[in-house]
Amino acid sequence: MSATIRLTAATAVAAAVLSALATSPAAAAAPALRMTPVSGHLTSHHLVGGIRNSTSSNWAGYAATGTTFTSVSASWVQPAVSCTSATTYSSFWVGIDGDGSSSVEQTGTEADCSSGRAVYSSWYEMYPAYPVNYSNTVSAGDHFTATVSRSGSTYTLTLSDTTKGWTKTTTKTQSGLSNASAEVIAEAPSSSTGVLPLSNFGTANFTSATANGQAIGNFTPDKINMASGSTTKATTSSLSGGENFSVTYNHS
């Protein structure tokens, strides 16, 4: 597969960080982030044990292709970021499309660092529309479940914080989308200048990763590690039970 990954989860950072920082006058101003996705490419593609292995400049996780998708779902624990004085970013989400297409329908969470302060938030996005940041409080250690489902051209994006007891469900209609991929991803978001420094999120644990109601492993998905040149930024584990895996931070 030589598909192009659209970095639309990255654009959610602008709304997420700006909204969070606006509530804290003492925080440093967020950098100017454009609401425009930046393209990255899967490289170093090879098969290992029946699983396709790739690297990406901005994604780590699993992406399934090869059929038309009507749903994707996963659960994770919101990672706690370890912040220095640097401003860094990380995003965790599920989505349909985005791998080899110019559309993406996704929802997830952010774990960013702004001048040494951890900033946590949540969002959904229907690219090319702007991302929408939810106002609900997000904390490190919160348990999340996210689902993106489709019926025809109607998409339902659901994000639940089962620790705090809130759920956000958004329904959008958009026609002409390819629905050709389903993914569960940890991402280094981007701005107009390229991929941004990745937050040190430790290890993000994803469970119950499914597509079309089946374990994502049933689709021979791409296992994606995040790398920039010879530097590995985040490493994706093997699948356990076809639907559980982790992504571990290595380098910003």
Annotated catalytic residue 187: yes
- In the set 105, 183, 187, 243, the catalytic residue is 187
Tell me the chain's radius of gyration from C-alpha atoms.
Answer: 16
Encode the chain in three state secondary structure: CCCEEECHHHHHHHHHHHHHHHCCCCCCCCCCCCCCCCEEECEEEEEECCEEEEEECCEEEEEEECCCCCEEEEEEECCCCECCCCCEECEEEEEEECECCCCEEEEEEEEEEECCEEEEEEEEEEECCCCEEECCCCCCCCEEEEEEEEECCEEEEEEEECCCCEEEEEEEECCCCCCCEEEEEEECCEECCEECCECECCEEEEEEEEECCEEHHHHCCEEEEEEECCEEEEEECCCECCCEEEEEECCC
Give the span between the Cα atoms of 166 and 84, in whole angstroms. Answer: 30
How far from 212 is each of 82, 98, 133, 163, 171, CA to CA, in Å? 35, 17, 26, 26, 18
The residues annotated as belonging to the active site are 187
